[in-house]
Amino acid sequence: MTDIYQDTPAKPAERQFTVSILTEDKPGMLNTVTLVFTRRKLNIDMINVSSTEVTGVSRFTIVATTSRGQVEKVVRQIRKHIDVLGAFVYEENEIHYQEIALYKVPTKIFLDGVEVEKIIRSNNARILVIEKDYIVIEKTGHKDETSALFKTLQKYGVLEFVRSGRVAISKSKRKTETFLEELEKSTTHSLNNNGTK
């Protein structure tokens, strides 16, 4: 007889991971990469696609909240695609990263004094655009920093708020170009790229 009160196995701890993927610059790669996450029923918190220092190579930076085991399965699956040159998973302390946020606020809030200007300076933000009816403020930083400024500005009235996906650079010393050269020389077209780029 089954004991219905028996302990259930503990769920693996979930936290944020950053996945960095190098691909050939070809149409359809965004769909190819995100489909792997969809099939694993993993939600993507943030995604950013950019060019790299190597011509014809793109970098996907994806942030997902999951367990270490799950994210490693996703990365292994991504590496199997022919147009993927490398895929790496990073903990927060293994990368340098930033996000950018824009806040549109009414111009009139600046007419009542210097308090808002003090807030902008103290948050290391800057005024990006000044129009007759609104001002756009720009803040670069981590999510908790851009969120904190949003909460502060809310009492003055935020017309619009948008935050970008994460851009990240690993703390590894190996260059992307060096990694690709090593990959080209490899007879199996595979390298030990577990977070080494």
Q: What is the pLDDT of residues 131-182, one digit of tens each?
A: 999 999 999 999 999 999 999 999 889 999 999 999 998 888 777 767 777 7
Q: Is residue 195 part of a domain?
A: no
Q: Is residue 24 part of a domain?
A: yes
Count structural domains, the chain: 2
Q: What is the pLDDT of residues 28-81, one digit of tens each?
A: 999 999 999 999 999 999 999 999 888 899 999 999 999 999 999 999 999 998
Of 148, 104, 106, 107, give the one whose Cα is nearest residue 124: 148
Which pLDDT score is estimated for 189? 47
Which pLDDT score is estimated for 146? 96
Beta-carbon contacts of residue 153 (< 8 Å; ≥ 6 apart): 103, 105, 116, 119, 137
How many Cβ atoms are within 10 Å of 116's Cβ, its own excluded?
19
pLDDT at 19 over 60: yes
Both 20 and 83 in one domain: the answer is yes
Both 84 and 65 in one domain: the answer is yes
Both 118 and 145 in one domain: the answer is yes
Both 155 and 181 in one domain: the answer is no
Average pLDDT, integer, range 98-108? 94
pLDDT band at 192 (very low <50, low <70, confident <90, very high): very low
Q: Show the domain range for 176.
A: 15-90+169-185
| pTM of the entire predicted model | 0.77
Average pLDDT, integer, range 93-102? 95
CATH (domain of 54):
3.30.70.260
Both 68 and 47 in one domain: the answer is yes
Alpha carbon distance 193, 21 (integer Å): 11
pLDDT band at 114 (very low <50, low <70, confident <90, very high): low
pLDDT band at 110 (very low <50, low <70, confident <90, very high): confident
Cα-Cα end-to-end distance for the chain: 52
Both 176 and 112 in one domain: the answer is no
pLDDT at 188 over 50: no
Q: Is residue 133 part of a domain?
A: yes
Both 85 and 107 in one domain: the answer is no
